Structure 1
């Protein structure tokens, strides 16, 4: 499992590669939309939810892995043949260590890490843990819970490009504030364990929309606020934070449910983290206004 996770981590790094690649092809005014559309690829989670079990039942437990491996090889061939760097792209003359240290010294790196850990990390955490939560809280069957999770993922995926596009129109900071207010309101309602139909379902949909909107806006923020020469390095840090943000909450939620028999405390912690993201976003906006004033 550790070895498999290592290679999956290498494959996951391609997301960090893709953001500066996409950025280089678009002017700043359209980078939010471009990175938002690029982020629709996270819909692979929904595809796997719909196809993994049928593939296993039809062709055995190895089938999903074989299909994925074939898809990766085909994509690698297509990328080799048709993808190339933008004409304006220039390689960095700095060493990898100095490039990394430069990204670490930028305040926006750590701000975006927190924001993405909440937005994308929250999306990943819910997509992983939601079936268990629905079964334990509402007594759903595994199949019903999985399909509802897939619906959650689809809503988040659809909203991600809207987050990028909206960031181009009204700014990434305002878009993030909208997304976090939506997540906070949904978390506040879910903490009281509402009935699944209709209020609970509406809450989960609002949560998915807010997380998807925020995921698209964070990389728009990076594209707009970070120096173009370190966008790739900053994106790498931010992407790692998103992965970490998706890893920790399911462990916390499982421990809380085992200790208390309810997920409410975990949802309250999400609410607190979201309010923290609102504060960080406000600081980012104030820093951006100061930079614009001194420019």
Structure 2
């Protein structure tokens, strides 16, 4: 997959630093999910409050991605990433030293963690601008595999909380963040080709293009499903199958690893067969998997298998969407990454909060899963309609459904 021509085409140290920064930032972004069982016990939270708790960082990150995207286009991705990492390090250190004593303060920490989630709008343009169009899917798939950081949180946070307390986990998280920050400062470089800064009003011009809205919707389903489940599954396995939080974290980590590391595969498949063809398969599989996950199973292992399947489909879709985006909006990739990432986060907020609300109102997560499966079906139907027009307008890449710089 990593051909010699690919390795020569871009800047490998920047690609690695983008992945590492993204990975550790994502670990921090979803930290409240793996810590959710311990936090809920301390503050006596109901299912809806637990859903809100894990959804707030996702929504905060979604909105801040737009801000980060504009910053990337104005001051460059490297400098933007350094600013965001400094904020997260300082904020987590303050939360650890001062303590978290009420549910409202937990939500405030969630807003802070959203700054880490905004790393999406930095890491992807940082990598993208170094690579030519034929390698966008693979390069952004590698950088975007930093989604796997959510698995690190699920693997380690519950066990650390059990031994040291969940507030201390916030302080411990600053250690890998500091390593990632130093690595980033030494290895990351902005690409020579940087778009000229625009007036703020010009950034909204991209929203006049229907393709921007469709790409935002498509990513809202794939990434929204991925991050929504990443934030919620530790609580889900603990609540539905009475698994110990540490074991529930292991189950969640397995799902997240599967979805993260198939992301580059999704990008590479889109490079080869075309983004639309790949996404049609993705949405069909995701809809089937999410609908199946809505039903109770006699064993948590069966539930794990179904959710692994679903996360793989969603992860591949994340890579496929970003095979298309940089080619249609190469000059605006910073702000478009912000807009697309924002809708991805909004999708995750909807899924995480709707799962908690469904559990509170009905005693089951089923309506939350089915609602998101319906969104995947809607995306599939939309692609069936859009495919012929996109193939006619964007004939430049393999599969006949990728996008040129101008339509």
Q: Does the pair score TM above 0.5? A: yes
Say if 1:76 and 1:284 are closer, same or farther in 2 by CA, change over 3 A.
Answer: farther
Q: Is the 8 A contact 2:141 2:263 kept in 1?
A: yes
Q: Is the 8 A contact 2:155 2:246 kept in 1?
A: no
Say if 1:286 and 1:55 are closer, same or farther in 2 by CA, change over 3 A.
Answer: same
**Structure 1 match to 2:375:** 273
**Structure 2 match to 1:39:** 144
What's the CA shift string for 1:77-118, capped at 9, x where partnerless?
Answer: 33233321223x1332421321x2122122222112211121
Cα RMSD, aligned residues only: 2.3
Q: Is the 8 A contact 1:111 1:284 kept in 2?
A: no
**Structure 1 match to 2:294:** 191
Say if 1:134 and 1:237 are closer, same or farther in 2 by CA, change over 3 A.
Answer: same
What's the CA shift string for 1:245-288, capped at 9, x where partnerless?
Answer: 11122221222222222222222212211101112333443332
What's the CA shift string for 1:193-220, capped at 9, x where partnerless?
Answer: 2333664333112111111111111111
Aligned match for 1:201, one of 281, 304, 307 = 304
Quick one: distance in 1 between partners of 2:232 and 2:259?
Answer: 15
What's the CA shift string for 1:6-65, capped at 9, x where partnerless?
Answer: 443333323212222211111111110110111111111111122223334455545433
Structure with bigger helix share is 1
Quick one: distance in 2 between partners of 1:62 and 1:192?
Answer: 34
**Structure 1 match to 2:158:** 53
Aligned match for 1:286, one of 372, 377, 388 = 388
TM-score w.r.t. structure 1 length? 0.89
**Structure 1 match to 2:353:** 251
Say if 1:10 and 1:103 are closer, same or farther in 2 by CA, change over 3 A.
Answer: farther
Residues matched between the structures, number: 292
Say if 1:145 and 1:197 are closer, same or farther in 2 by CA, change over 3 A.
Answer: closer
What's the CA shift string for 1:220-263, capped at 9, x where partnerless?
Answer: 12123x22111111110111111111112222122222222222
Quick one: distance in 2 between partners of 1:283 and 1:47?
Answer: 39
Say if 1:53 and 1:132 are closer, same or farther in 2 by CA, change over 3 A.
Answer: closer
**TM superposition shift of 1:5:** 4.1
TM-score w.r.t. structure 2 length? 0.66
Say if 1:173 and 1:78 are closer, same or farther in 2 by CA, change over 3 A.
Answer: same
Structure 1 residue 109 and structure 2 residue 197: aligned?
A: no
Q: Map residues 2-13 of structure 1 onto 2, 5 A cutoff.
A: 3-13=108-118
Say if 1:50 and 1:259 are closer, same or farther in 2 by CA, change over 3 A.
Answer: same
Structure 1 residue 150 and structure 2 residue 253: aligned?
A: yes
